[in-house]
Structure 1
Amino acid sequence: MIGENKEDAHNLALPYDTFDDATAGGDSPYKKSLNGVWKFYWQMGLETMRTDYREAGFDDRTWDNADVPSLWQLNGYGKPVYLCNSYPRVLSAKKSKIPTINQKQNELGVYRRSFTVPANWDGKEIFLHFGAVKAGFFVYLNGKKVGYSQGSMTPAEFKITDFVKPGENQITAEVFRYTAGTYLEDQDMWFLSGIYREVYIYAENKLCIKDFFAKTSLDETYTDGLLNLEVTLQNYAEKAEDAEVEAWLIDDEKQTLIDTVPIQATPGQSRLALTHVVEKVRQWSAEVPNLYKLVLVLKQGDKMLSYKSIRIGFKIIEIKGNVLMVNGRRLIIKGVNRHDFDPDHGWAVPRERYYQDLYLMKKANINSIRTSHYPDDLLFYELCDELGFYVMDECDMETHGVRRKDVPGDNPMWKEAVVDRMERMVLRDRNHACVCFWSLGNEAGDGENFMHMRNAALALDNRYPIHYEGDFDLTKSDFISRMYPLRPIVEKLKNQEAIKATVFDTVANALAADNKKVPVEMYKTKPVMYCEFSHAMENSLGNFQEYVDDFEQYEHMCGGYIWDYVDQSIRVVEDGVEKWLYGGDFDEGRTNYYFCANGIIGADRKPHPSYFEVKKVYANIKAHAVDVARGVVQIQNKNLFVSLEDWMIKWTVTVDGAVVQEGTVDSPAVEPLTSKEITLPYSLKSLPTGEALLTVSFVTKTDKPWIEAGYEQTFDQFVLENRPAVKSPAEGKVEFTKSGNTVSLNGNGFAAKIKGGALISLAYDGLETLDAMQPMKPNFFRPLIDNDRSYLNFVPKIVRIHPLYQWDRTSRQIKAARVKVKRLAGGQVQVNVKWLAPFVYGVRTVYTFDAAGRVAVRHCAAGILLPMLKVGLRTGVNPKLDHAKFYGRGPHETYCDRKTGGKIAVHEMKVAELEHRYMRPQENGNRTDVRSLELTGEDGVGIIIEAPAGKDFNFGAGYYSQEKLEAAKHLYELKQDPYITLNIDAAQRGVGGDLPGNTVLHPPYKMHSFKKYSFEFTVSPKK
């Protein structure tokens, strides 16, 4: 049973009393919210169930209070369960026993409250609306059973006219954590339960507009808007009624009466249709989301029965050949998958969070959202209509853990359920301008039931392409949809070559993949889409630029959706300590641990560094160098429908990070999909010596809902010239003594000591800059990021067996085999250290000290057998030197395969701000392409580390050693060291992200065995 006495799905427009009220929108006078405090009872184990609470007169005063909407596991009842691809043990996964639920482990949540029906609703039909309840529930009203519902991501409505009474009414909702429907809800998310979207009652006249569908499109020239309006009237009386329906279209203040259609409404449902052409329509797109207001008036003669209204947009989504189009222009999906999640409330997402999420997406140049993997709250679609996003609306249907067991497959047992879920989503959402694609679900196998879902969707709304990635025979989906394609497959998809299923694919498909065959002929009519790509699991999203380059170069590659938008971490506060929790933290049994953290932003909506990479790579404006010596650049507008007049160009010329020239110019009127050359008014004459860079920024001229004027939408940078200043060693003699492998050095205002080959002390004018607790030694290890851990992410208890931990052992076991000291001709002293350790060779560190305390460091190493994680030096730094100023890519963290979004500039911050706090502690805070770094105290005194002209290094600094980061499972477990850990690296491998929880590095971002890595830098006093 999927439902009992449920109303058919429909759009959620509610009635108003006047035309002006309907036009203005807002709360209907015929809606009464039941949100708020309900009485709550929870029971674990359902072998026996009490039923006394169903009675109207039951005394629930001793019960707990519960907020509606909410989820009971987040309020202390039961345990949250996180799984990414399987089911809790309460649900049998044995094919012969599906669907079977162990009722000893099932849970019941009973909600009760009272309400009154407004007196002016007398004589009307009354309905009870639940926005979403997980997983299934019975409703009782005044002691009588009203009905049942499952399918937990779309509304359930019941007609309660015959159940309500004057005065106080008592409602009971009996909610089950697991039902047979849970088998269709195995999405990569927490298993939670409760009434988590709004609850209300509403009233309709005996004769009412039950539903209507504003089927909008464009004509063949994309000039005029086409409206085909279908209206369903419901007559609850026992006799026919004559009526008229007026349809009005409002564009700003202009009101147009489209038509007045008479109808005889017989008992039950009657339907009418009308058409209208809007000449020179203002099109809707994500870039220019023009909306019209449609108002329907139901009347009998001069008597106005009710008014209903919605906002609509005119657009057309097409596939021409194998190219995806919007309003006649090629569309590239620059998208993201988004779970509807809040760290404190789960799926009961607060209203302000929707605004925050969509504003952040707009700022990051994201144009499309996949509602992974279920329909969202109504507010989400209303905001996407208004702000402009292309939405892939996805059905609440995933059977990941049993998808190879004919669920739903070809099994007729599941047909009604999956078709019902599809129809309810389409009927609720089809009027929204933002909806552009219907998706049949996610990771649920293949079979005839998907064709039933496709046909059901197209019968209700045939305007949009249908998507389903698990479509093995390519008959249900209008796209060739792939998840996480690796480079060999990417090359075939780009070149429209046949893809055959290998033995590996067969094995992978049996476990977790959907690596389907693609015959060449399929490319003729189906665009290639990556419904999930660039898996952003904490420190990830490497080589993102390469994917988007492909989308822009190949017309049949229509883009894709990053996995995913937001971490699904649950926040708790204990004894004043904020804790971010993940799977396994609730002693819940089977779990997939921290696989819930895949977002480009944290659960608290603080952007991860990957967010800024997305912002830069997804940008639709770009500057290209033409003749930058003369100031000539080309401005490219990748937008489809807007010119660049709303942006201003801000340009700066810097030398070694210092601004020497700057200015602003209005962006030229570069039309969509065109380019134009401009000349910026700077001069290269008389520039100081150093590296001269041109930065071209595109900033907004006016305020928008999501940003204020002056916001930098994107930027590009160009090297103008590089004339390094010549630095000579200081004159004078450095004194030194050597005892065994210990070398002590003194000069003009400085002293240094090397012990066992490691620099342990470097003092300037009495200020010790280093910390001997962490001597400067070679380092080859980084605290493993999730992608480094690979498949051991699923069994973190044995993660130490991973071969990459060899580099931790190598770093700990390294010893100085030889320390040589010699005096150079200019009075400098050179200390040459040869290091020995397993799995490396040619490890050398050469320190050259001059009389002023300037230390030139050269370091090199090569690995054998296993590719290294990094080559560099690690040292402790005086914690008083807690102010960092660096010239390189920033201000946020960057890595060699994720640095496009980092701006080369001088960035300043506290050392603590250099760190990035991922949910699970791991390698973080690296900066790439760094020319210089200053670490100073409050007085500005400290050290400066510089690369030679034309060279650079990586660095990371923070208060947690790599040992502590590696050992900690949660942020709250970390305790600061009494010193700053500074890593200065020649190279560090990329972070990857092509596959979930795997690095799968592209060749440029790997570190290769038997390759020598070397770099140089100098350390000097900063006074």
Structure 2
Amino acid sequence: MNSNTLKNILTSVFLIFSFLHSSLAQVDYQRIYLSGKDASQTVDWEFMVSDGRKADTWSTIPVPSNWELHGFGTYNYGHDHKNADRVLGTETGFYKHAFEVPSDWRGKTINIVFEGAMTDTKVKINGKSTGEIHQGGFYRFNYDISKLVNYGKSNTLEVEVNKHSANASVNRAEREADFWIFGGIFRPVYLEVLPNAHFSRLAIDAKSDGTFNSLIEINNPPKNAKVKIEIREKGSDLVIGNIESADISEGSWLSGKIEGIKTWNPEHPHLYEASFILMQNENIVFQKKETFGFRTVELREQDGFYVNGKRVVFKGVNRHSFYPNTGRALSEANHLEDILLMKEMNMNAVRMSHYPPDERFLDLCDSLGLFVLDEVAGWQQGYDTEVGPKIIKATVLKDANHPSVIIWDHGNEGGWDFENEKWFHEYDIQKRPVIYPWLVRNGVDTYHYLRYNAGIQRLTHGQIPFMPTEFMHGLYDGGHGAGLDDYWHAFKRNPVYSGGFLWVFADEAVVRTDRDGELDADGNHAPDGILGPYKEKEGSFYTIKEIWSPIQVQTFNLNANFDGEILIENQYTYSSLVDCKLEWKLFSVNGLESQSENHKKVINLPDILPGETKRIDLDLPDNFDQSDYLSISAYDWNGKELYTWSWPIHSPIDFAARELFEPNSSEMNMVQMEEENGQLKIQAGEMTYFFNLETGNLTKVQKGTKLFSFANGPTVEGMDSQVEKVYWEMDEEGSIQVHMSYSTYPKKATWTVNSSGLLSFESNGPAFGSGGIDFLGISFSYPEEKVKGVKWVGDGPYRVWKNRLKGAEFGLWEKAYNNTMTGYSYDNLIYPEFKGYHANFYAMELQTEEGNIQIYSGTPGMFFKLYNPENPPHATPGVTPKMPKGDISFLHQISPIGNKFSGPETMGPSGEKGSGVSHTGDTPFGIKLWFDFK
């Protein structure tokens, strides 16, 4: 027996069980699924596609699904309509499915409901049309098929789905867009089995003061009908409120006041359940349950968004409904994973780009706590006034009772017809705000991809609440975290700021079943995520997590004189920190081998209200400075880790001195020198170093007869500087020093070969007044193909950019070599990336085929760079920053990164080029390094 046969048998058993249940519980709302409930539990239907792969041949396909992912039809990205080199698939899919209808369903209303099909959809039951063609690919639609089914017999469902619409505005809104376009029935299909008298609509408006209003529409209301509403906390059997109508014929509104309620918000998403009971002569005719939350949404003019009377700052992201293997057909696990990752980044909001989501996604936003901007499609062109009102109605009726949905988006970036706006409030009894992503309209400014400090009487300079619904366009490793700290501080200076939404949550790389399973992001159109296609975490993930943590540790200086007190700021909207905790730990780093935890303590935070800052005594032990670094983790009232910060206690030179110069740890040797053909050979014990006497560069390192290919440095990076003089001498301790002088930076530098065989380098600090500096320091070369990995003491484990330093923390880190191109290397996507800049450098061990090379720093605030990340072939100039040419660099300053549309200089102060400042007599920190090849 094959898996499809078994699946169909199990489906039949499920339907029979459901039918038996339906006859026993005739008054309850029922769903009988004809398809699977989601992409992880599908049902095979008969299927044929008109064009493209597997055309004109009947086979089977799982439902729900997108047919491209199962080998049918044609893959297209939304821009393909204007690309003459691409074949635009306009195929039609034909579905057939047989289902049984029990005899005892006679007299009931049977609706067939489609949660989503792309796009024009014709439905037949037993060869007869169910009604007009549905148009619009992301919306629920249904038909009453009570008069079309054969009771007590098998019935045939036929569905014809056109990938492109006969309505040009639908194609412009949905098919000619900056996202993948698919075909098929991609959301569930089910039957609603209802008594003839039933609720056809239940709309709830539950306010934060306990006021409960409901709009009730009844199909075929019986005589002497009444409606009773029982309200319970979700998951409880205890009724906390009853509302009852005298006579439903007197009106369709039912209202009441529930005392002692808990409001819904993302920090504490309290949910309730309303049981709507239709009664006739005290007998229950029909009942249906609706989940809701008590909360009030307001957009106050020249002020901001308020939920439950509290001004809201959105820390949000845009989310496509997408998974590489299944397209837009998603599972419970997909929805849950996405929401948990958003909350892990300390986000409180998500924008539905660019169409309404699955029903289940909103259920989870309700229960787990996320504000939702719910959007009708229209990427940059909108629906016409024929289709537009229908899809707005479908969206509102499906999603309106979800407390997480607090704003309607009318399209995106021009994807609207203003004439259609009125239909949102026609159907939404809550009258939520309606916004236009990228416009100043309806009292809010949502401008996209603003440059730092942009706008005249707009955005950070304006009087209207501003909330960019897209910003920090994160192509490859650019945007997102890069520049976010600058933007966020700039936003907060204006009292009407309302936050913003990053573009975008995850890379949309789809599995190409026509290319042996290759992942395809359509060039640079879709690799814009904070996460990879399978939710791999890029460096910006942790940057966002730190910047948006609702518990913030204010800056302090940690050293041996630290008094143990820090300032804690509460950036929650609704919650005190009284049930939150800090946990600190003290660690020792044992060379470059391991680290150990010395002490730890949990501190219960006091009643710090939203917006307040209070001083907290960590109660560190008196000998805390015997450890190497301190970490502090913040936890919310559920024990969820919000962020973990860490700080070194001692300076790099103290660490280096401890590791390299402990008493009697260095063997003394006779140093021998040989000068020949412009090269200086210095031997100390088993170590031999070779220097070029024209440049002062190290050219070769030898340990006994073993060669290390570490060479060609110091090469000055970031400035045009010429070597003016090189000479060598022996110092008083018998060490040999090679001195170099430069025309600009670093003016002077010195190599020292110690009698122990240890090699050190020291150069002057930056002492000049020129600007326009991308990076500054020195480099060396080492063959990349010989590198196996690296261990280091410093910030990690992710690389950093000048404008993305947050999210990397101090410690002992290790990673194997990889050549990941962020957002591109889908065949071998390994994070953290090996290549790039790393901050707060103390020590490193480069693990190579020739042996391990240890390098220690004596300079605070230094960076090191391991090779240059390769740029994906579709990279734009903003995400291809200038980099030092050398393989391994030690730097005072590193380069920033931009985003898809612009360079880093447009993204805030940390993205600007550096400028030197100096005065005669300055003694800035230079570069001090020790190289140990032993």
| TM-score when normalising by structure 2 | 0.82
Q: Please say which of residues 310-319 and 885-894 is displaced more in the overlay.
A: 885-894
TM-superposition CA deviations, 1:112-160 (whole Å, max 9, x none): 2222224442321222211111122222222223331111111121222
**Are 1:125 and 2:109 an aligned pair?**
yes
Q: Which amino acid aligns with 2:115?
A: G
Superposed, 1:717-796 pairs within 5 Å as 717=646, 722=651, 724-725=653-654, 732-754=669-691, 759-764=698-703, 768-770=707-709, 778=715
CA distance in 2 between counterparts of 1:1002 and 1:495 reads 13
Alignment partner for residue 993 of structure 1, among 895, 899, 917?
Answer: 899
Alignment partner for residue 546 of structure 1, among 474, 486, 489?
Answer: 486
CA contact (8 A) 1:31 1:203 kept: no
CA distance in 2 between counterparts of 1:570 and 1:844 reads 54
**Equivalent position of 1:460 in the other structure:** 428
TM-superposition CA deviations, 1:832-877 (whole Å, max 9, x none): 67899xxx99899754322333322357999999864675424226
* 1:380 CA displacement: 0.6
**Equivalent position of 1:221 in the other structure:** none
- Seen in structure 2, the aligned counterparts of structure 1 residues 117 and 111 have a Cα distance that, compared at 3 Å, is same
* 1:942 CA displacement: 2.5
Superposed, 1:623-642 pairs within 5 Å as 623-624=553-554, 629-642=562-575
**Are 1:165 and 2:150 an aligned pair?**
yes
**Are 1:601 and 2:531 an aligned pair?**
yes
* 1:603 CA displacement: 0.9
Alignment partner for residue 506 of structure 2, among 549, 566, 570?
Answer: 566
Superposed, 1:85-100 pairs within 5 Å as 86=79, 88-89=81-82
CA distance in 1 between counterparts of 2:564 and 2:26 reads 55
CA distance in 2 between counterparts of 1:732 and 1:197 reads 76
- Seen in structure 2, the aligned counterparts of structure 1 residues 903 and 150 have a Cα distance that, compared at 3 Å, is same
Superposed, 1:620-659 pairs within 5 Å as 620-624=550-554, 629-653=562-586
CA distance in 2 between counterparts of 1:923 and 1:421 reads 47
Q: Please say which of residues 327-336 and 818-827 is displaced more in the overlay.
A: 818-827
Partner of 2:264, secondary structure, is coil
CA distance in 1 between counterparts of 2:914 and 2:618 reads 43
- Seen in structure 2, the aligned counterparts of structure 1 residues 847 and 678 have a Cα distance that, compared at 3 Å, is same
- Seen in structure 2, the aligned counterparts of structure 1 residues 701 and 1010 have a Cα distance that, compared at 3 Å, is closer
**Are 1:618 and 2:548 an aligned pair?**
yes
TM-superposition CA deviations, 1:931-955 (whole Å, max 9, x none): 221234799x722212214242223
Superposed, 1:41-190 pairs within 5 Å as 41-44=48-51, 63-83=58-78, 86=79, 88-89=81-82, 106-146=90-130, 147-166=132-151, 167-179=153-165, 180=168, 181-185=170-174, 186-190=176-180
Q: Which amino acid aligns with 2:576?
A: S
**Equivalent position of 2:474 in the other structure:** 536
Q: Which amino acid aligns with 2:274?
A: L
Alignment partner for residue 401 of structure 2, among 400, 410, 431?
Answer: 431
Q: Please say which of residues 666-675 and 177-186 is displaced more in the overlay.
A: 666-675
**Are 1:697 and 2:697 an aligned pair?**
no
CA contact (8 A) 2:453 2:460 kept: no
CA distance in 2 between counterparts of 1:21 and 1:217 reads 33
CA distance in 1 between counterparts of 2:190 and 2:618 reads 59
**Equivalent position of 2:4 in the other structure:** none
CA distance in 2 between counterparts of 1:485 and 1:674 reads 30
Alignment partner for residue 213 of structure 1, among 182, 196, 203?
Answer: 203
CA distance in 1 between counterparts of 2:295 and 2:215 reads 18
Alignment partner for residue 226 of structure 2, among 229, 241, 244?
Answer: 244
CA distance in 2 between counterparts of 1:543 and 1:156 reads 43
Q: Please say which of residues 487-496 and 427-436 is displaced more in the overlay.
A: 487-496
**Equivalent position of 2:913 in the other structure:** 1007
CA distance in 2 between counterparts of 1:639 and 1:278 reads 27
- Seen in structure 2, the aligned counterparts of structure 1 residues 598 and 741 have a Cα distance that, compared at 3 Å, is farther
Sequence identity percentage: 21
- Seen in structure 2, the aligned counterparts of structure 1 residues 119 and 739 have a Cα distance that, compared at 3 Å, is farther
* 1:373 CA displacement: 1.3
* 1:229 CA displacement: 1.1
Q: Which amino acid aligns with 1:564?
A: V
Alignment partner for residue 848 of structure 1, among 752, 773, 777?
Answer: 752
TM-superposition CA deviations, 1:938-987 (whole Å, max 9, x none): 99x72221221424222336xxx75x666799xxxxxxxxxx96454443
- Seen in structure 2, the aligned counterparts of structure 1 residues 349 and 133 have a Cα distance that, compared at 3 Å, is same
- Seen in structure 2, the aligned counterparts of structure 1 residues 870 and 602 have a Cα distance that, compared at 3 Å, is farther
Alignment partner for residue 487 of structure 1, among 427, 452, 477?
Answer: 452
TM-superposition CA deviations, 1:428-479 (whole Å, max 9, x none): 1110010111111101167xx32531454355234422211343xx4x4331
CA contact (8 A) 1:42 1:107 kept: yes
CA contact (8 A) 1:111 1:174 kept: yes
Alignment partner for residue 256 of structure 2, among 259, 276, 279?
Answer: 276
**Equivalent position of 1:97 in the other structure:** none
CA distance in 1 between counterparts of 2:279 and 2:842 reads 74
CA distance in 1 between counterparts of 2:774 and 2:556 reads 39
* 1:103 CA displacement: 12
Q: Please say which of residues 643-652 and 721-730 is displaced more in the overlay.
A: 721-730
CA distance in 1 between counterparts of 2:905 and 2:491 reads 22
Partner of 1:88, secondary structure, is helix
CA distance in 2 between counterparts of 1:432 and 1:272 reads 20
**Are 1:308 and 2:284 an aligned pair?**
no
- Seen in structure 2, the aligned counterparts of structure 1 residues 210 and 311 have a Cα distance that, compared at 3 Å, is same
Partner of 2:734, secondary structure, is coil
* 1:277 CA displacement: 0.8
- Seen in structure 2, the aligned counterparts of structure 1 residues 905 and 16 have a Cα distance that, compared at 3 Å, is farther
TM-superposition CA deviations, 1:253-293 (whole Å, max 9, x none): 3214523325467xxxx952111111131010000000011
* 1:68 CA displacement: 1.4
- Seen in structure 2, the aligned counterparts of structure 1 residues 206 and 659 have a Cα distance that, compared at 3 Å, is closer
* 1:30 CA displacement: 4.7
- Seen in structure 2, the aligned counterparts of structure 1 residues 563 and 15 have a Cα distance that, compared at 3 Å, is farther
TM-superposition CA deviations, 1:373-404 (whole Å, max 9, x none): 11000001000000001111111122x2xx5x
- Show structure 1 runs of 5+ residues with no match: 1-13, 51-59, 93-101, 219-223, 409-413, 498-522, 584-592, 703-708, 782-806, 970-979
- Seen in structure 2, the aligned counterparts of structure 1 residues 103 and 1020 have a Cα distance that, compared at 3 Å, is closer
Partner of 1:567, secondary structure, is coil
TM-superposition CA deviations, 1:47-80 (whole Å, max 9, x none): xxx9xxxxxxxxx9x5132221111222333432
* 1:212 CA displacement: 0.7
Q: Which amino acid aligns with 2:807?
A: G
Q: Please say which of residues 614-623 and 526-535 is displaced more in the overlay.
A: 526-535
Q: Which amino acid aligns with 2:641?
A: E
* 1:659 CA displacement: 5.4
- Seen in structure 2, the aligned counterparts of structure 1 residues 286 and 113 have a Cα distance that, compared at 3 Å, is same
- Seen in structure 2, the aligned counterparts of structure 1 residues 831 and 122 have a Cα distance that, compared at 3 Å, is farther
**Are 1:477 and 2:442 an aligned pair?**
yes
Superposed, 1:198-597 pairs within 5 Å as 198-218=188-208, 224-235=209-220, 241-251=223-233, 252-256=236-240, 258-261=242-245, 263=247, 272-321=252-301, 322-398=303-379, 400=380, 403=381, 414-444=384-414, 449-454=417-422, 456-457=424-425, 460-471=428-439, 474=440, 476-489=441-454, 493=458, 496-497=461-462, 523=463, 526-540=464-478, 541=480, 542-571=482-511, 579-583=518-522, 593-597=523-527
**Equivalent position of 2:880 in the other structure:** none
CA distance in 2 between counterparts of 1:608 and 1:80 reads 27
CA distance in 1 between counterparts of 2:770 and 2:104 reads 83
**Equivalent position of 2:642 in the other structure:** 713
Q: Which amino acid aligns with 1:392?
A: L
CA contact (8 A) 2:470 2:500 kept: yes
CA contact (8 A) 1:730 1:850 kept: no
Superposed, 1:14-29 pairs within 5 Å as 28=30
Count of residues in Structure 1 that have an aligned counterpart in Structure 2: 859
CA distance in 2 between counterparts of 1:1011 and 1:74 reads 58
* 1:730 CA displacement: 8.0
CA contact (8 A) 2:582 2:632 kept: yes
CA contact (8 A) 1:212 1:231 kept: yes
**Are 1:827 and 2:734 an aligned pair?**
yes
**Are 1:955 and 2:862 an aligned pair?**
no
Alignment partner for residue 682 of structure 1, among 604, 620, 643?
Answer: 620
